[in-house]
């Protein structure tokens, strides 16, 4: 049945597939009653099936500046109809006609300066009833995204200052990056420092000559101790404690992908090539400018270096990806493979009167019991479990796990070497190509960033939007930019720039 527009007492109503989408008598009155009279700050409003847009213009004009609106229509016929009624989109007001959670996640990062905390769904008509299951599923996804962004914002408030300082220190010299990711036409083993690495060390050593090995930083000391050379190492960690993973590790022929926000000493400890990237943890203008000027590739901000390594492996090969030590679980008394510095430090502070210090700190997070690959219970925590959820909900069929007693069951198939016997031959050597901007361009860009800060400190608010990165994870507006807090932060960051530029001379 076609969509029909019918005249009613206070406006037009719509009939579709045998159902009225508004009241048959008072459609406008009914539609207006669906909008809340009290509007909350820092809120994402999703207006479902706006159709004739009754009351939407007034609602949009009343929504607080620190909130955002998405108009959602999943039915193709209704979406085509309502396009002639559309209002003009703005930064905080968007239309969506597909179940594209990735686009919503992208918008949420665009809206990070709004510090969105809650989700409010407004059913402007009954148009959603025709695809009720789809809308319910999508609303659940958006709710999770908003909650996750709020948690990320809270985390960024704690760590962003360190990340920003590290980025500025790394920019004392022009960062070198790769031009394109090389292809790896063999299975890739992504190695973490979980207990499966120790369990499967002999298996990995026998296959390191034919499989490619991508290692996260925490696994490096164990791999060195086991005599296994990775093909690529990845470092994202900004904390100084992470430098322990590089002490005694000597891989001069192994390239490292290093996040620009990682601790600056990491590059100095690595004897081989270092290619910089930048995690997509913020859409603030400062980080966008870095990517554009220096051509830095963007890494998924998955929160876990293991998730990042898996994502890179999927991009670099069409072959199977095998997890080894990416367990997201542990056993009480031991959380990391023997040889890793985390395990060594756990043991170093242990004696009969004091428990294992770092393990005790780990256990301060809420523990959960999870099912293991071998159908027994393992220990995990809410953080690791949230990382595992990304793999559990992954649609790719190329990720495998080993039949380890220490790995969480994530619904992934078990790897069997007999699946692909042709991979027994030696793997081809990987060739990387690198690039860096000219020194003069680099120095001019750094001085431009310092000029923004100097002008702002001297009272020029024309560049306040360029300094939104000073408040990553927090609400930011022109009013906040006028505060003494914003000026103090700008003075501190300018000091970091001045020290960084002085050290590079």
Rounded Cα distance between 232 and 236, Å, is 14
- Length of the chain (residues): 505
Mean per-residue pLDDT pooled into runs of 10, the chain (505 residues): 86 91 93 92 95 94 94 93 92 92 88 92 92 90 87 86 94 92 91 92 91 93 93 87 81 93 89 92 91 89 80 91 89 57 45 42 64 85 73 80 90 81 72 90 95 96 92 91 95 96 81
Rounded Cα distance between 214 and 430, Å, is 12
4-7 and 12-16 as β-strands: parallel, antiparallel, unpaired?
antiparallel
Rounded Cα distance between 154 and 148, Å, is 10
Distances (CA, A) of 159 to 23, 216, 238, 429, 472: 51, 20, 9, 38, 10
pTM for the whole structure: 0.81
Task: Write down the pLDDT at residue 424.
Answer: 61
Q: Is 233 helix (H, G, I), strand (E, B) or coil?
A: strand
């Amino acid at each position: 049945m076609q969509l029909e527009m019918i005249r009613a007492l206070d406006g037009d109503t719509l009939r579709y597939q045998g159902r009225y989408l508004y009241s048959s008598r008072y459609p406008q009155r009914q539609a207006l009653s669906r909008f809340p009279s009290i509007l909350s700050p820092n809120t994402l409003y999703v207006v479902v099936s706006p159709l004739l847009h009754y009351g939407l213009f007034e609602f949009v004009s009343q929504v607080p500046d620190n909130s955002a609106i998405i108009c959602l229509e999943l039915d193709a016929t209704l979406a085509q109809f309502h396009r002639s009624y559309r209002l003009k989109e703005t930064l905080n007001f968007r239309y969506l006609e597909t179940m594209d959670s990735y686009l919503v996640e992208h918008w949420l990062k665009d809206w990070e300066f709004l510090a969105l905390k809650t989700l409010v769904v407004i059913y402007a008509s009954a148009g959603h009833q025709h695809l009720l299951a789809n809308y319910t599923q999508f609303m659940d996804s958006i709710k999770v995204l908003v909650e996750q962004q709020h948690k990320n914002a809270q985390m960024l408030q704690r760590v962003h200052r360190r990340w920003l300082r590290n980025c500025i220190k790394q920019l004392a010299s022009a960062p070198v990056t790769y031009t394109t990711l090389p292809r790896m036409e063999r299975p890739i083993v992504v190695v973490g420092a979980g207990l499966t690495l120790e369990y499967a060390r002999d298996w990995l050593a026998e296959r390191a000559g034919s499989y490619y090995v991508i290692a996260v930083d925490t696994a490096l000391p164990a791999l060195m101790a086991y005599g296994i050379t990775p093909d690529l190492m990845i470092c994202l960690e900004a904390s100084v404690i992470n430098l322990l993973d590089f002490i005694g590790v000597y891989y001069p022929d192994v390239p490292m992908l290093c996040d620009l926000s990682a601790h600056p000493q990491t590059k100095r400890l690595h004897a081989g090539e270092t290619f910089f990237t930048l995690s997509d943890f913020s859409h603030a203008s400062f980080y966008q400018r870095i990517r554009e000027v220096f051509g830095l590739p963007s890494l998924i901000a998955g929160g876990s270096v293991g998730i990042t390594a898996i994502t890179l492996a999927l991009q670099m090969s069409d072959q199977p990806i095998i997890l080894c030590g990416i367990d997201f679980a542990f056993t009480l008394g031991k959380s990391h493979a023997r040889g890793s510095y985390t395990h060594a430090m756990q043991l170093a502070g242990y004696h009969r009167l004091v428990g294992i210090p770092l393990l005790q700190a780990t256990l301060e997070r809420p523990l959960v019991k999870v099912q293991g690959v071998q159908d027994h219970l393992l220990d995990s925590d809410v953080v690791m479990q949230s990382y595992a959820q990304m793999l559990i909900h992954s649609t790719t069929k190329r990720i495998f796990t080993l039949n380890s007693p220490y790995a969480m069951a994530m619904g992934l198939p078990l790897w069997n070497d007999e699946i692909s016997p042709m991979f027994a031959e030696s793997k081809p050597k990987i060739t990387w190509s690198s690039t860096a901007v000219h020194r003069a361009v680099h120095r001019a860009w750094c001085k431009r960033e310092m000029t923004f800060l100097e002008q702002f400190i001297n009272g020029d608010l024309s560049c306040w939007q360029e300094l939104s990165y000073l408040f990553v994870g927090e609400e930011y507006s022109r009013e906040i930019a006028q505060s003494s807090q914003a000026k103090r932060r700008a003075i501190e960051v300018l000091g970091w720039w001045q020290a960084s530029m002085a050290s590079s001379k």
